[in-house]
Structure 1
């Protein structure tokens, strides 16, 4: 597990002019942030764009001296990425095309997009909360859980990627779920919509 002081020190070093500190921060959180973005947009090129836009915003905020997340760097960066993902979907929303016809019904167009958008935001918030909970797991369990849930890898692929037996990968997944449940119960977290 990472030491809590690492990110704040790197952020402070970057603000003080150490460009290398930002590179370390980006490399440190690259995998987690990229996986998060990709899980939403399912497109490598868009993931790259949003990843870069996220760090452009991070840099601008840090340079302005407007960062005050009190050591919660990763959740802050994830929130920026999440907002950029929402912006991306808003920008690229395709309006439905209609053929002229006398039985045109405005209600068939309206549907309940607002409800769907609200459900999606709630779902995103739950996924974001879950992501933060997953961070609390031991590294070996977290790795298996992410490979299985977010990358849709089989236990055989996980076994090959991590260099452990399939049974060990299965065991780690089982313990990850048990530990997640304990964290959720301990903190009285509700993960429903």
Structure 2
């Protein structure tokens, strides 16, 4: 195999490893799995999210309880990923579409609202000891909306297996998440 082909295969493998970590991040958020979330960052990594700016491990410890306390359910999808490799470092932009049912505090009238949003992540990734993890992540909010929540778990919806926000989620039994 030529050197050029070997380099391209290595680059594709690196891009795929970063993509897999991006998916693990979203799965960790949706399953409220703090250990999986931590595994996507280097311990000395950082996040700039506005609601939390600081060390990535501190963010992980803060974010999962925040989600559990404020969001009744949530679902996210990663798409439109651009990765630029530079040796054992990479820059990436990924688009994320999310939706959550948020409990409003009493001072805001109580109740539940549906909150879809579209945002982007700007990341710096580093490969250390053969593993790609985020060194920094910045959230850029492009749009959001909110309206009264009207979800249902009745009728036909009662027949579906539902996602869970812990390790009892079907993805763990399938072996997709560990």
Mark yes or no: TM-score above 0.5.
no
Considering fraction of residues, name the structure with more strand.
Answer: 2
Q: Which structure has the greater CA radius of gyration?
A: 1
Higher relative contact order (CA 8 A, sep 6+): 2
Taking structure 2 as the reference length, the TM-score comes to: 0.29
Q: TM-score, normalised by structure 1?
A: 0.27
Structure with the higher helix share, 1 or 2: 1
